[in-house]
Amino acid sequence: MAHHLRVRFWVEAGLAFVTALLAAATQVWPNWIELVVRVDPDHGSGSLERVLVGVCLVAFLASVVLAGTEFRSHAAHSV
């Protein structure tokens, strides 16, 4: 059944995975942003990291809901 799912499902599932990974990485290693882009936009306050985790969690939840809806729609039409 999984190989017949639409591309939309896989994009949503992939986005959920990536945003969960970013949120987890930011929680475990909060200064990765400063190291990667070589800029400290929040001057060490950690506010950027908190916003990033929040945005990633909202995007994760939205992606999970959308992927689940797509999966259930596919399952309903496959029966």
Residue 79 neighbours by CB distance under 10 Å: 4
> Which pTM value belongs to this model?
0.81
Residue 3 has pLDDT above 70, yes or no: no
CA distance 27 to 21: 10
Q: Which of 4-13, 38-47, 55-64 has the lowest mean pLDDT?
A: 38-47
